[in-house]
Copies of this chain bind each other. A is one copy, B any other.
Amino acid sequence: MLSMSLRIAALGLLAQQPGSGYDLLKRFETSMANVWPATQSQLYGELNKLADAGLIEVTDVGPRGRKEYRVTDAGRAELLRWVTKPQDDPQFRSAGLLRVFLLGEVPATEARKYMEAVTEDAESEQRRLQELRDTLCRDDNDAAFYGRAALEYGLRIQAMKAEWARWLIKAIDERIPK
């Protein structure tokens, strides 16, 4: 019962704006995907659990059994509690970094090739996030403000990653003579 980040992600999106599971799913596919991705299956299950726990409630049932959800006061309290108590976050894991860690076990040419791919990937991710930022609304509400802040973090990560990868490639090249 630790962590529960998906639970919070769904709760938080509903706090920003009410909607159905289907609506939420769209928002997960766009903005939230870069921060905490979730599948359709998982999301619908979580919404039912949130409703059972009284953190959200169904305000309306529309066509095709569409359930309109809204956060409750208890839900807002839980959200505040989670945001201000960053105790039980899941540990950092990176398959990309694991690869780097093990790069010594493959031929140097393969290692270099991998790092080149990392550079290109970081650069293309950077472009993708730049485009995303340009298409974003210029709203001055809180959600848009912090959304842009999270996006800025992603941009800085990719810039750093590309720079680091180029630095490592140079170091590999200087080592090869040995």
Contacts and interface: CB of A to CB of B under 8 A. Distances in A.
Contacts of A142: 103-105
A117 B152 contact: no
B100 A96 contact: no
Contacts of A103: 83, 142, 146, 149
A54 interface: no
Contact of A12 (B76, B92, B105, B164): B105
A145 B140 CA distance: 47
Nearest to A94: B35
Contacts of A86: 95-96, 99, 114, 117
Contact of A79 (B79, B105, B147): B105
* Chain A interface, DSSP helix/strand/loop, else mixed: helix
**How big is the A interface, by class?**
35 or more
A136 B94 CA distance: 21
Across the A-B interface, give the 10 residue pairs with the lowest CB-CB distance, nearest first.
A104-B142, A12-B102, A89-B95, A103-B146, A15-B105, A101-B150, A104-B143, A104-B146, A36-B98, A37-B91
Given A9-B102, A140-B178, 18 more contacts: A3-B95, A12-B102, A35-B94, A36-B97, A36-B98, A80-B110, A83-B99, A84-B110, A84-B113, A86-B96, A89-B96, A97-B153, A100-B146, A100-B150, A103-B149, A105-B142, A153-B161, A156-B164
